[in-house]
A = this chain, B = another copy of it.
Amino acid sequence: MLETRSQEHLSRHLVSFESALLDCRAKMLEHSGPDVKFVNKYCPSSSSSSSASSSSSSSAREMKILATLRGSLSRKYPQKNGEVLSAQYGINLLLVGLALMLALAYQGPTVTEETVLAFLTTLMLMQVLWMICYVARLERKRNEPPERDADAATSWIRGGLTLLALLSLITDAFRVGNFVGYQECVSPILGVYPVIHALHTVSQVHFLWFHVKDVIKRYETFERFGVIHAVFTNLLVWSNGVMTEAEHALNDHKRRLSAVGYFNFTVGEGNQPNCNCTTSACSMFSSGLYYLCPFNIEYHILVSVLLFVMWKNVGRTLERRTNQKPASSAPLLTGSGDGPFLLLGSALGLLALASAITVLVIYIIHVEESLEARHAAISMFYWFGIIILACMSVAGAVGLVIYRLEDWPMDTAPNPARTLDSKLLLGSSIGSWLVCWCSVIAVGGATNSPTYRWANLGYAILLVLEKCVQNLFVVESLYRRRREPEERPALCTTHNSILNPSQGNEKIFAVYDGIINHGYESPDKHCENEKQTYGGNNGNVSHSLGHGMPETPNRQKQVLKNIAIFLFMCNISLWILPAFGCRPQFDNGLEEASFGFPIWSTVLNFALPMSLFYRMHSVAVLFEVFRKI
């Protein structure tokens, strides 16, 4: 009796499903006119469901629906094609820019700074045009807002971005000021570029605030080109900034060598214009630009990453679950029981930050004084590095042990932002790992033995270890499911007890139902996952499911939160040091003796930007981890 009822329920469900699809098709036709392909895309089974009325048995219908849904799942190829095409466009754009910059680096007759700036200005203008088109098209279709990917860029990431953008705007103002001072003898493009850059920054931040989460499904191929153009434009502006920074580093290096008597260097050599400044603020602008440049660089690489996620999202079919806003977590540092525990992590982190700034100031002053002071400064840097890296490694290892002790459930829903985050962490570690192994080899084979020789070795090995542990910790945290202790037990008992056979059947269809009823899948899957993990060794199922959350996990959660905030602060510290001129790899001379200046400076020019990006990216990801735990 029960079974016949369930079968009836099943066919009722199918009929309602089909009518929903027909509705959907009709609605789409109203909006998109004769674009049949478009309709077929959004209502994949409409063509088969309209012909299904001729066949009367419910099983033939369910077959059709199943098949069409399967078809819609495997309809990925056109996307592949568009991806390859636009990726090739983007890569070639980047390579043209890189080729121009390489020619500029040689300071040969072919390419001058004006060429590169004109190229970048053109690209930025094209991007602004595309953004205007995009927003205008969205405005026209205001009644059908695009789907949004909740994971794409959290509001605090966009907040941080806005901060960096503000500093970037100040940089532009300084550049304009500098241009006004030297107006007589420099090309007008040096004045046009910062103005366009400011315009670009403002419109881009606006675009990112309101559209970076959009999942583009209309004019896919065109928009894909637009987005990839934006990604690579920002990457090129980043490369340009990195080149400027490399020049700064080289000039610093020369000045310091000349200060301790190795080398004859006149201040202002190289990139100064050939006339006198007509205003009094030029030197202020120059030194301001020196300190603001790192922020400008981070701004562009961060934007590239966000836009790349947007590109990966073009044409993506979103599961409803990933589209839900996650429950807001406890406010920062104000939870009742959180207070004392979080204080520990943030106090240690602030201590690390303060010491890093102290080390930076002492280093910059002492490294230009005398040979002894120079060696002492370098030693100090390495010992500071050893202490902070050891603490960070221990913190990360403790976090990993906690994860091993308690097998929390994991989350494997598709999430381009998270995949990219973990790949970028791993990828950008390569730069500083290469530097570390070079240091190890240099220390091993060094003929002279300065005081900091073995400290350098320890620092290099600890840096490799620290990045390995931190990567593991971050990836593990990102792939853990966010837990809501008060919610879970209720959900699971509900599903286990009150389900009757007809609901069981409905559930089977709910899974196929990839277009309309995604909501179905989520709570049950969540519950079953937890059951599987918590009850790994058969007996514990009832224990861990039945009685809410015990005390322990809450304490472990506290420890993890502390670790995250501590690592967050430490990564800021380790970003500040190289970003503002504390680069002992240039100054210690050991590696230069083993690799020669040309090879070693090439390695550093490749590795330091990656290392800076790694720290900044870790900061962003660790903050997310902190909020998630």
- CA distance in complex: A348, B500 (Å): 69
List residues of chain B with CB within 8 A of the CB of A355.
none
- CA distance in complex: A40, B535 (Å): 11
Contact A37 B4 (CB under 8 A): no
Q: Which of B8, B103, B422 contacts A441 (CB 8 A)?
A: B103
Q: Which of B73, B91, B499, B602 contacts A433 (CB 8 A)?
A: B91
Does A189 count as interface, using CB distance less than 8 angstroms? Answer: no
Interface residues of A in 1-55 (CB under 8 A from B): 2-4, 6-8, 11, 36-37, 40, 47, 51
Given the contacts A87-B426, A422-B84, A508-B508, A529 and B71 also touching, CB distance less than 8 Å: yes
Q: Which of B102, B476, B499, B603 contacts A102 (CB 8 A)?
A: B603
Min Cβ gap A580→B in Å is 27
Min Cβ gap A68→B in Å is 7
Does A109 count as interface, using CB distance less than 8 angstroms? Answer: yes
Contact B3 A110 (CB under 8 A): no
Q: List the number of copies, as a whole number.
A: 2
Contact B6 A111 (CB under 8 A): no
- CA distance in complex: A6, B7 (Å): 9
Interface SS, A side: helix
A-B contact pairs, 24 of them (CB 8 A): A2-B57, A36-B538, A47-B535, A59-B505, A67-B524, A67-B525, A71-B529, A74-B411, A74-B412, A74-B525, A74-B529, A75-B412, A77-B476, A88-B468, A92-B433, A95-B437, A96-B437, A98-B434, A98-B437, A100-B441, A103-B595, A108-B593, A110-B445, A110-B446
- CA distance in complex: A441, B87 (Å): 22
| Other A-B pairs beyond A74-B411, A84-B472, 20, CB < 8 Å | A3-B11, A4-B4, A68-B532, A70-B525, A71-B528, A74-B412, A74-B525, A76-B412, A77-B410, A77-B476, A81-B476, A85-B472, A91-B430, A95-B434, A95-B437, A98-B434, A105-B599, A109-B594, A110-B446, A111-B441
- CA distance in complex: A3, B60 (Å): 13
Contact B77 A528 (CB under 8 A): no
- CA distance in complex: A523, B512 (Å): 18
Min Cβ gap A252→B in Å is 22
List residues of chain B with CB within 8 A of the CB of A596.
106, 108
Contact B507 A111 (CB under 8 A): no
Contact B40 A80 (CB under 8 A): no
Contact B58 A475 (CB under 8 A): no
Does A180 count as interface, using CB distance less than 8 angstroms? Answer: no
Min Cβ gap A448→B in Å is 11
Min Cβ gap A171→B in Å is 28
Does A442 count as interface, using CB distance less than 8 angstroms? Answer: yes
1/0 per residue A435-469: CB within 8 Å of B? 00110111011110000000000000000100010
Contact B59 A504 (CB under 8 A): yes
Contact A36 B537 (CB under 8 A): yes
- CA distance in complex: A500, B47 (Å): 22
List residues of chain B with CB within 8 A of the CB of A221.
none
Does A183 count as interface, using CB distance less than 8 angstroms? Answer: no
The chain B residue sitting closest to A503, CB to CB, is: B59
1/0 per residue A468-508: CB within 8 Å of B? 10011001100110000000000000000001111111011
